[in-house]
Homo-oligomer: A and B are copies of this chain.
Amino acid sequence: MIDSELVKRMRALLGTERVLASPEELLVYECDGLTLYRNQPELVVLPETTEEVASIVRLLKDRGVPFVPRGAGTSLSGGTFSEPGVVQISLARMRRILRVDLRNRRAVVQAGVVNLHLSQAVEQQGYHYAPDPSSQGACTIGGNVAENSGGPHTLKYGVTVNHVLGLKVVLPSGEVVELGGPQEDPPGYDLVGLITGSEGTLGIVTEATVRLTRNPQAWKTYLAVFESVEDATRCVSGIISRGIIPAALEMMDHLVIQAVEAAFRFGFPLDAGAVLIVELDGPAEGLPEEGERVEAVFREHGAREVRTARDARERAKLWASRKKAFGAVGRLSPSYVTQDGVVPRSRLPEIMARAEEVGRRHGIRIANVFHAGDGNIHPLLLYDERDPEQVERVLAASDELLEACIELGGALTGEHGVGIEKKSHLGRLFSEDDLQVMLDVHDVFNPDSRCNPGKIFPSARSCVEVRRPRAAAPA
C-alpha cells in the first residue's frame, strides 16, 4: 500500500524532487488527452534510468502496489488513467538519445524522448524518425511504442511497430529484459511486436532501438478542395485504386476547416465541404508524372480547386495546420471527444454518411479530420462537459460510431488504443476464446494486473473497479 514509508523509500531512491506526493503536484497527472476520465494518482515518481525504473517496480512489487507508466500524457483513450491506489511512473525525464548510428540507420533512445526531438537530432544529416503522430511535438517514443502510434505519413511509411527493432523492458516482476536487437528479424518469438501496442500492460519500456528514415529527395504537397465529404472520400479510393501510395492522404471536413482557418489563417476555403491533403514523395524525377496522375483523379472526383505548396515553408505551414487541427477544434466547443475507428478504405463514404446520421440523431455536432488513406477515421464529437445530459449523448453517439465501424468490416481503434475508453467494445470484435488467449499472454507478464491495471480487457481484470467518468469536472 501507499503510505509514508513507501514515499520515504522512493525519496531515498530518487531524491525529494523526483517524488511527487502533494495534491497540487499531482493535479496534472489526473488525466491525459481523454479528459472525460479523471482521477489523481497517489504518488508520481520520475526515474531517469532503466535501473531506477527496475528498483521502483521491485519496491512496488514487494508492497503489492499497482502502477501506471506515463509518457507525455497525450493518450486519447485514457491509457495513463490511474485507479485509486496507483503510483504513476513518469518516463518524462528519460529523454536522452543514447546512440545514433546513421550508417545502419538506427538510434537508441530512452523512452521519454519526445518523438519530434529525435527527428530534429538527425535532420541536418538528412534523416528523420518516420512515425509522426499529430502530437509529435509532445508525445514520447515510449508512449508511441505502447500505443503503436501512427500519423499522417504512416500511410506510406508504416506505424510504430515497423520502426522499432529492439526494446529494453522492465517487467512487472522487476526483471529487466532486452527484446529484439539492432538487427532485422532476430530469431525466437517476436516479443518486440507483442510489447508494441500492448498499451503498457505487459511492462514498462525504458529504451528503444528504432529505425531512422532517409528524408525523401523531393515532395509534392497538394490541397484539393471538394464540395462534399462524399466526393473527397470517393477520391481517396480513386487514388489508392490507381496503385498510387501517397506519403500522406488526409481529410478535413467543413467544421474542421472553419476551426483550423480561424486558428492559423492558412487560407483554407471556408465554403468547402472537405479538403484532402495529399503528399507525394520520392526521387525528384518521378514526381511530376505521379503528380499528374493524382491531379487527374482529383478532377475526376469533382475537385473544384487544387493547390500545391509552393515551397518548404508553405508545406510546413500546411502540415502544422493539419497537425494542430485537434487543438483548433477547441474553438468550436467547450469540449470534444476524439474518436478513433477504422474501416476498409472502400467503405469511407458509408462511414461518413453514418457519422452524419448518428450526429444528427443525437444532436451532437461531429467534425472530421483523419488519415483517409488508411481508412482511419477521427470523428470529433463536440459537446459541453458541464452538461451531464450532453455527456450521455456523446457517449451513446461514440458507441454507435464504433459499432458502425465494426459492422463495415473495420475495427474500433486505428491508433489511439483501447485504454479504458473502449474496453467494453473489445468483446464485439473478438470471441471469448480469442480474448482468452490475449489474457493468458497478459498473465505471463503481468499475473496480478498491477502493471497498468484496468486497461484494454473488458473483463474485470483490474485491481479495483474503474469508476464512471466524472462528467461534471471542467477541463
CA of A431 to CA of B214 in the docked complex: distance in angstroms?
33
Choice from B103, B181, B344, B415 contacting A185 with Cβ under 8 Å: B415
A66 on the B face (CB < 8 A): no
CA of A410 to CA of B247 in the docked complex: distance in angstroms?
31
CA of A103 to CA of B347 in the docked complex: distance in angstroms?
10
CA of A212 to CA of B456 in the docked complex: distance in angstroms?
30
With A104-B346, A241-B103, A243-B126 known as contacts, the answer to whether A194 contacts B190 (CB < 8 A) is yes
Q: Is B171's CB under 8 angstroms from A437's CB?
A: yes
**Which B residues lie within 8 Å of A284 (CB)?**
286, 289
Choice from B179, B283, B376 contacting A434 with Cβ under 8 Å: B179
Instruction: Encode contact with B along A200-224: 1 for CB under 8 Å, 0 otherwise.
Output: 0010000000000011010000000
Q: Is B282's CB under 8 angstroms from A289's CB?
A: no
Choice from B187, B197, B409, B444 contacting A426 with Cβ under 8 Å: B187
Instruction: Encode contact with B along A328-369: 1 for CB under 8 Å, 0 otherwise.
Output: 000000000000001111100000000000000000000000
- Oligomeric state, in number of copies? 2
A413 on the B face (CB < 8 A): yes
Instruction: Encode contact with B along A370-387: 1 for CB under 8 Å, 0 otherwise.
Output: 000011100000000000
A442 on the B face (CB < 8 A): yes
Q: Is A346's CB under 8 angstroms from B197's CB?
A: no
User: What are the nearest 3 A-B pairs in CB distance?
Assistant: A286-B286, A193-B193, A285-B289
**Which B residues lie within 8 Å of A418 (CB)?**
187-188
**Which B residues lie within 8 Å of A374 (CB)?**
184
A256 on the B face (CB < 8 A): no
Q: Which of A145-159 contact B (CB under 8 A)?
A: 148, 150, 158-159
Q: Is B217's CB under 8 angstroms from A411's CB?
A: no
- Residues of A within 8 A of B (CB-CB), count: 81
Other A-B contacts than A184-B375, A285-B287, 4 sampled, CB-CB below 8 A, are A126-B243, A175-B433, A177-B433, A437-B444
**Which B residues lie within 8 Å of A171 (CB)?**
437
A186 on the B face (CB < 8 A): yes
Q: Is A197's CB under 8 angstroms from B190's CB?
A: yes
Choice from B104, B179, B191, B285 contacting A286 with Cβ under 8 Å: B285
Which interface residue of A215, A286, A288, A437 has the most chain B CB atoms within 10 A? A437
Choice from B344, B422, B433, B442 contacting A183 with Cβ under 8 Å: B344
Choice from B243, B375, B435, B444 contacting A214 with Cβ under 8 Å: B243
Q: Is A193's CB under 8 angstroms from B409's CB?
A: no
A417 on the B face (CB < 8 A): yes
A143 on the B face (CB < 8 A): no
**Which B residues lie within 8 Å of A148 (CB)?**
185, 190
Q: Is B190's CB under 8 angstroms from A196's CB?
A: yes
CA of A472 to CA of B231 in the docked complex: distance in angstroms?
70
A136 on the B face (CB < 8 A): no
- Which residues does A use to contact B, with CB under 8 Å? 103-104, 126, 148, 150, 158-159, 161-162, 171, 175-179, 181-191, 193-194, 196-198, 202, 214-215, 217, 237, 241, 243, 282-290, 342-346, 374-376, 409-415, 417-418, 422, 426, 429-431, 433-435, 437-438, 440-445, 456
CA of A1 to CA of B374 in the docked complex: distance in angstroms?
50
**Which B residues lie within 8 Å of A431 (CB)?**
177-178
Q: Is A411's CB under 8 angstroms from B183's CB?
A: yes
**Which B residues lie within 8 Å of A176 (CB)?**
433
With A190-B196, A191-B437, A197-B189 known as contacts, the answer to whether A184 contacts B444 (CB < 8 A) is no
A430 CB, min distance to chain B CBs, angstroms: 7
**Which B residues lie within 8 Å of A187 (CB)?**
411-413, 417-418, 422, 426, 429, 456
A388 CB, min distance to chain B CBs, angstroms: 28
**Which B residues lie within 8 Å of A433 (CB)?**
175-177
Q: Is A104's CB under 8 angstroms from B193's CB?
A: no
A190 CB, min distance to chain B CBs, angstroms: 5
Which interface residue of A162, A376, A415, A441 has the most chain B CB atoms within 10 A? A441
**Which B residues lie within 8 Å of A430 (CB)?**
178, 188
11 sampled A-B residue pairs with Cβ under 8 A? A158-B162, A175-B433, A179-B434, A185-B342, A187-B411, A188-B426, A188-B438, A189-B194, A217-B243, A285-B286, A285-B289
Q: Is A429's CB under 8 angstroms from B289's CB?
A: no
With A441-B444, A444-B444 known as contacts, the answer to whether A198 contacts B189 (CB < 8 A) is yes
A439 CB, min distance to chain B CBs, angstroms: 9
Choice from B103, B183, B198, B286 contacting A342 with Cβ under 8 Å: B183
Closest residue on chain B to residue A437 by CB atoms = B177
